[in-house]
Structure 1
């Protein structure tokens, strides 16, 4: 069993409130969970209205599958949310 974890940080340059941030974050989380069947949570910067840090986890029998899934998650966010500015994404895998 392999567990891959991805920390994704992005900025909401056009956002001006926590309410607007919540709307975007909930949308991203729901779409990722429905499309990729991964666990997603906002893990940092909850009180900053222009910064979002998501933690995404995937469990698989094959390390390559878990890593590819998380790489696809990052690509999905970049392609489907052009208003979000990706700051960083780091993937770690634990055997």
Structure 2
């Protein structure tokens, strides 16, 4: 069994309040969950209205499958016109890791 995580640092476009930020980030997180059946949440920069950190986690029997899902999630984030993907950080764990 393999577990993978992806943390993405996002710069939001024309957002001027935390309420506006929520209107942009929530649909992105919902789409990640719906489309790829992953756990997804906003995990950082909650007090900044133009920045967001979104994390995604997935589990699979094959490390290639985990990588493919994380690749697809990263592509979705990069293709969203209302955000700019600044950076990502990935981790891959197997059930034998201590």
> What is the TM-score of this pair, normalised by structure 2?
0.92
Residue number in structure 2 paired with 1:17: 17
In structure 1, what is the Cα distance between the partners aligned to 2:78 and 2:13? 14
1:69 offset after TM fit, Å? 0.3
What TM-score results when the alignment is normalised by the length of structure 1?
Answer: 0.95
Which whole-Å deviations, capped at 9, do the CAs of 1:12-54 have from their partners, x for residues lacking one? 1311010010011110011111100000011110110000001
Structure-to-structure mapping, 1:1-95, within 5 angstroms:
1-79=1-79, 81-95=80-94
Calculate the aligned-residue CA RMSD, in Å: 0.8
Using the TM superposition, give the Cα deviation of residue 76 of structure 1 relative to its aligned residue in structure 2, in angstroms: 1.2
Task: Count residues with an aligned counterpart.
Answer: 94
Q: Which has the larger radius of gyration?
A: 2
Unpaired runs of 5+ residues, structure 1, are none
The separation in 2 between residues aligned to 1:64 and 1:51, in whole angstroms, is: 30
5+ residue gaps, structure 2: none
What's the CA shift for 1:83?
2.1
Q: Which runs of 4+ in 1 moved over 3 A?
A: none
